[in-house]
Amino acid sequence: MRLFHLMPLIVLSLAACSKGTQQPDSDRAAPAAAPMTTEERLNAPANAENGQKLFMACAICHDVKEGVGHRVGPNLFGVYGAPAARFDDFAYSQGLLNSGLTWDDATLDAYLERPTAVVPRGRMAYAGEPNAANRRDMIAYLKTLQ
């Protein structure tokens, strides 16, 4: 019965002893950051590294190396700032040939969101990227291809 009365003291003693063996605050891992809100993500600086990862889905059809030919889609090296349908050796859709587009931020953003809305008679099979932050990152990556 006496041991039962001593249990609270034993527990408190063990708790006090364990405090002395804890790591100092500077050695502890920082708590995980809260996930970004949609607004924070949209206003964050563009991330070309993330854009390159996202572009991997596009790499099935598009090459991005200078001097390399085309795949199912045209080579995208130097695409940012260039006119649409710029290569003579690629068979573009009539819609893209007649578009008069220049691939800048606004045009790329709209096209990556929904290609058929920008070039109605285009042949791009890509359905589009609904996430504005992902589109921004992909555009940042395309800008590095110079």
What digits encode the pLDDT tens for the residues 6-20? 444 444 444 444 444
pLDDT for res 21: 46
pLDDT at 32: 73
CB atoms within 10 A of CB 45: 8
Taking 70 as the pLDDT cut, the residues of the chain under it are: 1-31, 38, 41-42
Q: What is the pLDDT of residues 89-99, one digit of tens each?
A: 999 999 999 99
- Secondary structure letter of residue 101 according to DSSP: -
For residues 79 and 63, what is the distance between their CA atoms, to the nearest angstrom?
A: 11
